[in-house]
Amino acid sequence: MNLRLALSLTTILYSTVCQAQPPTLNLYTFESPPYQVASQEKGGGNRISGETADTVVCAANRAGWATRIRITPQNRAIHSLERNMIDGYFAIDPSAELDNIARRSDPVALEKWYFFTGGNKAFTNDLRIGVVAGSNEEAWLEANGYAIFLSVSSPSQLLALLKRGRIDTALMDERVMNRLRYENDSEATQLTAHFVRYAPLYLYLSEAFVSDYPDFLGTFNRTLNSCMAGQLALSEEETRRITELSGRLFKEMNSVLDINQIIEAGPRQESFTDVMTIDSQWQALVPVTTPDLAERILALPGSRALLAWQESHRGLVTEVMLINDMGTLAAMSQLTSDYWQGDEPKFQRVMENRVTGTEAERRLYISPIRYDTSAARFQITASTPVVPGHGKSAIGVAVIGLSIEEALSQVEQY
């Protein structure tokens, strides 16, 4: 009897442990340092790591799934995805072919693509373009009508061909090029970098997987921004350029709008308790419906003026808001997800020291890059104190959202 009881308990414990194990998401990807890198494990298998692989693993884990990632050629991956032989494939540019056979997540990576030319050579459409065969860059060039002169098997070959003058330009991710130049001691070689695009790359999930687990994708998407934290930081040079651009935009906005008057004309609550109550109700309603207070704020002359100014910079400026010193919205160009902004860095970083006068007017806070799901684009925000005059305290914060791709569409020298 004791033996039977022991066996029963063992069976129950074994079953419980098995049930506690998370299900496994079977994925394909391709090698692309520093984003997806294969390394040898002690047992002889390959371990896939790198920024994008780590992001996918992180988001899947938070959705309750383990992951198994393997490296495979693109054609085989797409073939397997179409036939539901794998659960998903990453990190790839969107395409009509894939959209017809699988479901796309929000972006799992953001690459920065440049045409790299030797010396000070300008980019023109008649240059001999080199690209890695089967890459996202090759697919994008073909989709956008570029004539490819040479496709090679690895990024290192592109750098060598550039140095020998066999090609005039190469399209690749900035960090991949920087890594190659460092590893090959080619940093002294002058290259001119012509910004092409920020390239959001995605995880595609098979139709069978999405059908069997309909809640997975929503949970996965909601965790991506936090899993990508730190990977979307602006470089020092990009920060400098965005700071200069934002400073010019704020100066222009102040010259055509009475920012102080707009803030003073906006709604203001009697107590912090009222603010928190309104903010909770606001968040519960947005984006399904527009709260009554939000309707009133959007109807204010100041909000309409902000929207008109935003429209004058269509494509670059994605949103504008003015926040009073309580941290609540005084005016906005479009509906926001929160009424109270006082707990966010864009408010706190420029208000914490209550800097006054011309010093405050020069101070800007530039946020990290974030993916805006509703607008389906990557953006940053810039914020600055609103100071009514020299020697006076800031009465609030002005915030503008910027499309990062539009903001950085300029030539950089390497």
Query: Residue 361's pLDDT band (boundaries 50, 70, 90)?
Result: very low
**Contacts by 233-242, CB closer than 8 A, 24 or more apart:** 233/368, 233/369, 234/366, 234/368, 234/369, 234/380, 237/412, 238/408, 239/366, 241/407, 241/408, 241/410, 242/366, 242/380, 242/382, 242/402, 242/407, 242/408
Per residue in 119-131, pLDDT (tens digit) is 778 888 899 999 9
362: pLDDT confidence band, cut at 50, 70 and 90?
A: low
Question: Averaged over 10-27, what is the pLDDT?
Answer: 67
Q: Rounded CA gap, 3 and 396, in Å? A: 74
> What pLDDT does residue 273 have?
95
Confidence band for 236, pLDDT divided at 50, 70 and 90 = confident
For residue 84, the model assigns a pLDDT of 94
Torsion, Cα of 107, 109, 110, 116 (10° steps): -130
* Amino acid letter, residue 20: A
Average pLDDT over residues 300-323: 96
Whether residue 290 has pLDDT greater than 90: yes
> 142 falls in which pLDDT band (50, 70, 90)?
very high
User: What are the Cα distances from residue 59, in Å, to 44, 99, 202, 204, 334?
Assistant: 27, 21, 13, 14, 30
Report whether pLDDT(412) > 60. no
- At 19 the pLDDT is 52
Residue range 316-328: mean pLDDT, rounded: 96
For the ranges 39-48, 264-273, 352-361, the lowest mean pLDDT is seen at: 352-361
Pairwise pLDDT comparison (75 vs 205), residue with the higher score:
205
Q: What is the pLDDT of residues 243-261, one digit of tens each?
A: 999 999 999 999 999 999 9
pLDDT bracket for residue 146 (50, 70, 90): very high
Residue 262 has pLDDT above 70, yes or no: yes
Chain mean pLDDT for the chain: 87
Given a cut of 90, whether residue 381 has pLDDT beyond it is yes
pLDDT of 118 reads: 85
CA 63 → CA 91, 127, 227, distances in Å? Answer: 19, 46, 12
Distance CA 114, CA 95 (A): 20
Has residue 223 got a pLDDT over 70?
Answer: yes
How far is CA 294 from each of CA 167, 279, 281, 331, rounded to the nearest angstrom?
56, 11, 11, 9
pLDDT at residue 47, as a whole number: 87
